[in-house]
Each structure stands twice: as structure tokens, then as C-alpha cells.
Amino acid sequence: MESIQLVQPNSTHLLQVTEQEQGSRLDMFITGRFPAYSRSFFQKIIESEHVSVNGRMVAKQGVSLKNNDVVSVFFPGEPKKTYHPIHTPLEVKVLFEHEHFLIIEKPAGLNVHRPATQSTEISLVDWLLHHYETIATVGYNDRPGIVHRLDKDTSGIMIIARTKYAHAYFARQFNERTITKTYLAVVQGHPQSTGEVDAAIARHPHNRKKMMAVTQTTSTRSLGTIRQAHSAYRVVDYFSQHSLVEVKPRTGRTHQIRVHLAHLGHHIVGDKLYGSASALINRQALHAHALAFSFGDQFYEFKSELPNDIKNLLEQAKKITR
């Protein structure tokens, strides 16, 4: 198995910028020196003021570095994670257990982690810490074991890291887009049988809970960070007023599939944020159906069948006539 070097918590590392590295962004420079960690990990480290350049603390990840700059990086320790006690079943299913990772099914209606620090809402992280205590020291303080996420009302399959090795490994694989993710969605109307959506995504300037597709005609004056996003899809089945669509996102932006399908003019059934509520289902009809990846020298592929509420939706869709 490939070696991934992790550093000791509560340790400081001094790095000197070479002539070849001058002009690099701070976050990308540090990530290049510590490839076992993701860029987002170091962005959090920088924002927490654990990085200095030439002795001066820096809180902006995009600082441009000069030749011979000295960068100091402090890796903070790992405070004990606490979780809310679980008194009712959460219907989380474990599909596969490996010594380094879990494959689980998340039900709709469950947040992956707390939406805010002071939130008392039960999350998937609470369930993980209740059933797998050793995950407490894996990954970020507020989301141990988590290497990717699903929206609260999206159901389906997820990878959970059980070890620091796996957390670093999968974070890098997601960053390099070598993990194949497949979703199933029921949408309004009839998209073309196959297609690709290449539309960048940014946070909506007037509704902070919402994202938006950015095209060549979009005014970007009031937008923040704009991220490239790409999704490929094919229609699995057409119904009178709906379609069952398989989507493979090539990138992993917030709300990407929901935004891209709405951008096509075919919002996901039940998606109140990007479309409208539906009498056929009480949440967006989006399910993370499959994951495929390599770990060590072995290839893994897992599938999660559609949950009952989406199956019922499809049965109702078959009965609807024009």
C-alpha cells in the first residue's frame, strides 16, 4: 500500500520558498510540501492563523509567495470530540466494513455534521462517534471521519474514513477526482437522453443558502468565489411528466447536481430550493447510488438501492397520464 506521511499534532514546520516556487499561492505551496493532506485542510489551518510568512501571521490563503520566504506551519492538536447522545434509531446502514474505512447509507433528513457549532441537531457524525469511537481522532475536529458529504435531504452511499491514513488517502482521491460517484434523480420534464453540463457554480448573492450556475451572460460583479463544475447525465427512463436520470458529477461543488439539473430546466422533484415542493415526495428526489474507487491495490465498487420514498415516487409517476 502506498505510503502517506502524516506529521505529529502540535508540531511546527519551517519551509523555505525556492526560486521555482515563487509566485505560488500560500495554500497551494503548503499542500505541495505536504501531499498527504488536502488543500482544504491547509485552508482551515491558514484561516485559524496557524501559518506565518517571515514571522508575520497570515490569515489569507491566496497570499503570493516570494523567493526565500520562510513559511511556518503549525499542525494543531486534536481536542476530544463530543457527540450528542442518540436515543432513537437513525436508520444508518453499514454496507461494508474495512479496517481503514466504512461504506454506509445515509438516510434523507440527516445532516452529515452539525450545521453550526452550537447546533443540538443529531447528525451522522454523532452516530459515527456513538458506534465507532476510534473515528474521533480521524480528520477535522468538527467532522471526524468525513471525507465527502451529502445534503441533509439527499440519501445514499458514503465513504467514512476509520483511520488517519484513509482520511488522507480519500481526501486526496476526491481532490484528484479519481473516485467515481453516481447519483439517481427524478426530475421534472424530459431532458435530452444524454448530456453534459459545464457551468461554474457560485453562492447566490441574495440567498446565502442557495448556489447558482454562472454562465458567460451572468454578471459576476456581486459574486464571491466562482468554481468550475461539470456533470454528465443520461436518462434511465421517461415517464409522462417526469424522468429518472443518472448523474455522474466530475467535480464536487455544493449542491452541484441540484443546480445543474435546474440550470437545464429540469429541477429535481421535491427540491424546494431550486424548483418547487411536490405532493409526490417530501424532499428532493436525489440519491447517491454508487461509488467506485481503488484503495491500495484493490478496486472497490458499491451500490445503494433507491429508498422507498423515491420508489413510491416512481410508481406514482408511472400512473400519471398527460
Element (H, E) at 318: helix 308-319
**Least confident interval from 33-37, 60-64, 207-211, 259-263:** 33-37
The average pLDDT across 88-110 equals 93
CB burial string 172-184: b at 16+ within 10 A, e below: bbbbeeebebbbb
What are the φ and ψ backbone dihedral angles of 310, each rounded to 5 degrees?
-75, -35
The count of other CB atoms within 10 Å of the CB of residue 8 is: 8
- List the grid coordinates of 52: 506565518
Q: What pLDDT, on the 0 to 100 scale, is given for residue 51? A: 93
Decide if 271 is catalytic: no
Comparison of pLDDT for 219 and 293, the residue scoring more: 293
Q: Where in the chain is the domain with CATH 3.30.2350.10?
A: 93-176, 180-292+305-319
Q: What pLDDT, on the 0 to 100 scale, is given for residue 85? A: 67
CATH of 11-75, one of 3.10.290.10, 3.40.50.150, 3.40.50.1970, 3.40.50.300: 3.10.290.10
Residues 6+ apart with CB under 8 A from 290: 157, 180, 181, 182, 301, 302, 303, 304
Q: Are 248 and 181 in contact (CB under 8 A)?
A: yes
20 burial class (0-12, 13-18, 19+ CB within 10 angstroms)?
A: exposed
**Least confident interval from 99-103, 166-170, 187-191, 268-272:** 166-170
Comparison of pLDDT for 7 and 3, the residue scoring more: 7
Comparison of pLDDT for 62 and 301, the residue scoring more: 301
Q: C-alpha angle 302/306/311, rounded to 5°?
A: 165
Q: What pLDDT, on the 0 to 100 scale, is given for residue 226? A: 86
The average pLDDT across 172-183 equals 93
143 — pLDDT class (breaks 50, 70, 90):
confident
Kindly report the average pLDDT of the chain as a whole number: 89
Comparison of pLDDT for 223 and 126, the residue scoring more: 126
Q: What pLDDT, on the 0 to 100 scale, is given for residue 301? A: 98
The average pLDDT across 4-28 equals 86
Q: Of the listed 27, 69, 126, 151, which one is catalytic?
A: 151
- List the grid coordinates of 244: 429518472
Q: Which CATH architecture describes the domain 93-176?
A: 2-Layer Sandwich (3.30)
211 burial class (0-12, 13-18, 19+ CB within 10 angstroms)?
A: buried
Q: Where in the chain is the domain with CATH 3.10.290.10?
A: 11-75
Is the domain defined by 180-292+305-319 classed in CATH 3.30.70.100? Answer: no
CB burial string 128-158: b at 16+ within 10 A, e below: bbeebeebbbbbbeebbbbbbbbbbbbbbbb
Q: What pLDDT, on the 0 to 100 scale, is given for residue 65? A: 95
Distance CA 160, CA 18 (A): 37
The count of other CB atoms within 10 Å of the CB of residue 79 is: 8
